[in-house]
Amino acid sequence: MTVTQLARSLGVTEVTARRKMRRLLNDGIIRIVATVDPFDVGYEAPMIIGLKVDRGRLDEVAEQLSALPEVRYVGASTGRADLIIEVVTRTSQDLARFLTNELVNVDGILDSETSLIFRIYKQSWHAFGRPPRHPRDDKPDGESSAADSNSTR
């Protein structure tokens, strides 16, 4: 999405959108990152691992996991797992090495359930599923009607 499109969708000027975006970037509230499908760059073994941990050591375990280079995501969760991690390894041998040499050495993990991802159907980076729409953006770019120009919003 361009800054012009962002401004239009928010109903503000491009200058305002650019200024607000710069502030959010500078304050570390948003970041612009690139991502790839791991399969497209030769990684065969992305996985999601649910971990049951000693709850008194939850933060400590999360910090240890966050330090591992294979771990892309660490989140506390509800349900059967206390922590959910996303791990990406290049090969199944690397996966085995991670599980038997790295994960097993993290103190405080009581149990794990590993799910190998064999195909990614959707990977979205919109914070809430879809970017917000402004009521005036129900028409294609630049299109307006006589009713729009006569309305008193």
Averaged over successive runs of 10 residues, the pLDDT of the chain (153 residues) comes to 88 93 89 75 84 96 96 94 93 91 95 89 65 48 41 37
Q: Are 125 and 35 in contact (CB under 8 A)?
A: yes
Cβ atoms 29, 72 nearer than 8 A: no
Q: What is the per-residue pLDDT for 31?
A: 80
pLDDT tens per residue across span 15-24: 999 999 999 9
Per-residue model confidence (pLDDT) at position 50 = 97
Strands 45-53 and 71-76: unpaired
User: Can you read off the two tokens belonging to residue 17?
Assistant: 């959108």
Listed in order, strand segments (DSSP E) in the chain are 45-53, 71-76, 83-89, 109-116
Specify the pLDDT at position 126: 61
Helix, strand, coil shares, percent, the chain, to 5:
40, 20, 40
Tell me which residue has tokens 């948003």: 30
Helical axes 14-26 vs 3-10, angle rounded to 10°:
110
Residues ≥6 apart with Cβ < 8 Å to 119: 39
- The tokens describing 152, both together, are 């008193």
Write the single-letter amino acid at 114. T
